[in-house]
Structure 1
Amino acid sequence: MTTLTRDPARTAPTGSLRDSWIPRLGGPVWLVWRQHRAAFWTLIAVTLLGVLAMLYLRGQMMDFLATQAPTARRSGGLPPEFETYVDRLLSIGSYLSYIPVLAGVLLGAPLIAGDLESGTAKLVTSQSVSRLRWLTMKLAVPATMLALSTGVLTAVLTWWWNPVKGLSSGLIWTAFFSVTGVVPVAYALLTFTVGVAAGLLLRRTLVSMVVTLGIVVAIGFVWSELWRSLGHVMSISTDKGVGPGNVPPELPDQAEQLGQGTYFLTSSGDRLDWTTCLDRIDNDRAHTTCLESQHVVGWSIDYLPVDQMQTMQWLGAGIMLAITAALVTFVITWGRKRLL
């Protein structure tokens, strides 16, 4: 066996305390860990620090809520000081939303591009390690570390948010859709494989990182525009008129309103834009006559209910993982033929 693939337990008599368990790994797994151990230890450290910070901040929020009367929590009568805790929760959620960017740019893009640029890939595959095995381990080890780290962070954030969702307008479920549940893990794996594929094709670390950043930003924009379409849009309406004393219907608790806002509902079931007869709003009689001429009988509002959140998250994660699987297939197929 070569020095790259032989049992590291025989070849590494000494090592740092933090790596004392690593020699039990063998072959390409050990090699991948040794190559990227700085990134892996950083990922572990950031995960631990993030978990500790969230545990501390959650404890503060729950202690504050424990001092408030239950009726105040149910009626939305919490004091303004509660918004400070809300802002902290939102801030941590916004920080976690950068995980997919970092996964693609800092972990995925340099993964293979760095080895191609430095010649490590040629050295490794010229030994007894096949290209398939090397590519598989290069993908599997970082992906496992990334999935575990992201999963732990988002699980703790979900645990923090669950008991307080709905207590403030800032804690509505749509603000946490992409940073709780299964979505962050699938999202991070997707951007990671995008970075790996870019690095394999471009073969230059810096160029791959820049291109990956652009692609990840584009993915984020598309996701932010399309994820609401994963749900089944519900409607609520009234049919008692729109005159004085008739107000639009009230949405269910924690529901998010969609579309342009409130629509006018006609007797035939059609909906008109809220700007209908807007040019006569200054004259009540003229405005009422205009609406009557359009056969307006009430209001209609589209919304997404909170009980669809998990279904939408699993559907979105499934789509991301399917794309990820396609990218992994491409990386392995392309790499086996044109790696060097």
Structure 2
Amino acid sequence: MSEIRRDRFYNRYVLIAPERLHRPDLHVNSSTHKIPKSRCPFCEGNESLTPKEIFALRDNSADSVGWKTRVIPNFYKAVQIELEDISQRDGMFEHIPGVGAHEILIDSVCHECTMQKLEVASIENWLRTIIIRIEDLKKDKRLIYLSIFKNHGSSAGATQEHPHTQILALPITPQNEQSFLKHNMRYYRRHGRGKVEDMLYNELLAQERVLYNKGSFGAFCPYASAYPFEVMIAPKKNIASLEYCSRDDLLSLADCIKVVFSKLHAQLGDFDYNLYFNIPPINPNFENESYMSYLHKNYRFSIRITPRIYTLGGFEISTDMAINPVSPEECAALLNSKDAK
């Protein structure tokens, strides 16, 4: 039976409709265009095929073999750090130059290694590299918000097979983040806690949708999941952003990510997905300055993994309301089954 559930994170509604699971257009896997490793620009030994690296976890000279993770400018960058952040208006038409940074983090040297195949230490290296880039980009006070995400598979928008992560630094706060800051502050003033804190607490209490509960982090299929097999990972203590994690926290998070992807892979195979970080603004501006001093009290960063196993239609696009054909309770039960361990 269908249900309309309220997603308290985004303050929106999601339609859980199991009957739509059997639509003929449902598909599970697709793949990106495969190229030989000898011509993959992200593979070790092909460093000359990319722009000069911004950063790498390595013990030798830049732009050579011997790295663990590597960060380069996106060759097809959406924003440019060289531009000036000056807004312009012509009547109703307002714009600012596309100032910002667009970087590619190559997750590891392994061309075939998706998250479930990486060692926990390699996932920790990936997380450490993201932290280093957050801390560096934060120094540019023009940059307000970071979008950190992974696309895997053509259905998720990936164009390169080699596992990688994108980091976009923007001079504005996206509308959905502004909305979350506003509603999270309202929730905090009413309850003395942030939304993510209460979401995780109640999920761990209910136990119906929990996938992982060890160390500093918990993972669960959200009550109002917008996608089948969607997973949310959040800290069990107040950690506003990834860069505030201790070494033990990072190890716990890396273990959590590996366990979650192993469970997903056991049920879905090599599935297409988007992964993204929800982190607070990195610098204040006129849009967010009233929230910044409260972040360590009411904001917990989180990670979302959204498998892309079916195509969005007109209802989703026209209403900005998702239809999910698999209940999160059923997803959690499948992911926690013996076959997924």
TM-score normalised by length of structure 2: 0.28
Larger relative contact order, structure 1 or 2 (CA cutoff 8 Å, min sep 6): 2
Determine which structure has more spread, i.e. the larger CA radius of gyration: 1
Higher-helix-fraction structure:
1
TM-score normalised by length of structure 1: 0.28
